[in-house]
Amino acid sequence: MVALVLMVVGLYSIETGYKYQFSNNDPGRVTVYCVKKESTGCLWHVHAVSEFDSFVIKTMHSEHFCGFVCKDVTSCLMSSKLVENLILEIVRGMPLVKPKDLMTTLKTDYGLDITYYYAYTAKKIALEEIHGIDGLCFHQLKWLKNTIVENNPGSRVILDIDSTKKFERMFICFEASSYGFNHCRPIVYLDGTFLKNKHKGCLLAATAKNGNQ
Ligand SMILES: [Zn+2]
């Protein structure tokens, strides 16, 4: 929970230029003060407590009395973890965002300069965080096969692997689709799409016209 507060306050710090300090080591609650509280008596603070997977702000004073500040792009709160979280949220909203667009957004909105390589790598890590790692997903195909057969009786699933247990192909036909084919007109639409992830491949789908149409 504290990490989440740290990230949000870190982003707020980048946007406003004000710096903060944390107190309370209790994992269930955290208080954030203006870094100039002692020297200027600034009352800005946020007190938050943990509830489920999030945190709730209980008390807050949102005005600074410590004077004006300028954005400081070298702020220590702007850690690489913070930038990664920032990119994670951008990629979550726009999975197809390009590294160059990430560079532009971070520069425009937060004054951050990142290299193309950093943007490319951070986007890759963000996609893995959101969708899982491609390689590990193959380990779940056996589970997927069993789950489909178990929950859709009559469905046919064939998972082919070679002698080294390397994935070759997978065929899935749900019982409902198989049953529906018996009542369709004899027209089959076949379409395929190239999988553009690390392991490539092709996804084929066959669909027949609904007999009622
Ligand atoms: Zn202040």
Task: Report pLDDT for 213.
Answer: 64
- Indicate the pLDDT class of residue 20, thresholds 50, 70 and 90: confident
- Indicate the pLDDT class of residue 71, thresholds 50, 70 and 90: low
d(CA 85, CA 87): 5
pLDDT above 70 coverage of the chain, percent: 92
Condensed to tens digits (0 to 9), the pLDDT of residues 113-154 reads 888 988 898 898 898 888 887 777 888 899 999 999 999 999
Question: Does residue 170 register a pLDDT over 80?
Answer: yes
The structure tokens listed for 198 are 């690390």
The answer for residues whose C-beta is within 8 angstroms of residue 138's C-beta and 6 or more apart is 167, 199
How far, in Å, from the CA of 16 to the mean position of ligand 1? 11
Task: Report pLDDT for 158.
Answer: 96
How far, in Å, from the CA of 70 to the mean position of ligand 1? 13
Task: Report pLDDT for 175.
Answer: 94
How far, in Å, from the CA of 53 to the mean position of ligand 1? 29
Instruction: Report the 10 Å Cβ neighbour count for 62.
Output: 8
How far, in Å, from the CA of 79 to the mean position of ligand 1? 21
- Indicate the pLDDT class of residue 180, thresholds 50, 70 and 90: confident
88 with 119: CB under 8 angstroms?
no
How far, in Å, from the CA of 196 to the mean position of ligand 1? 49
Which residues fall inside 5 Å of ion ligand 1, going by CB? 34, 36, 42, 44, 64, 66
How far, in Å, from the CA of 20 to the mean position of ligand 1? 8
10 with 22: CB under 8 angstroms?
no
Whose tokens are 């609650």? That residue is 29
How far, in Å, from the CA of 23 to the mean position of ligand 1? 15
pLDDT above 90 coverage of the chain, percent: 28
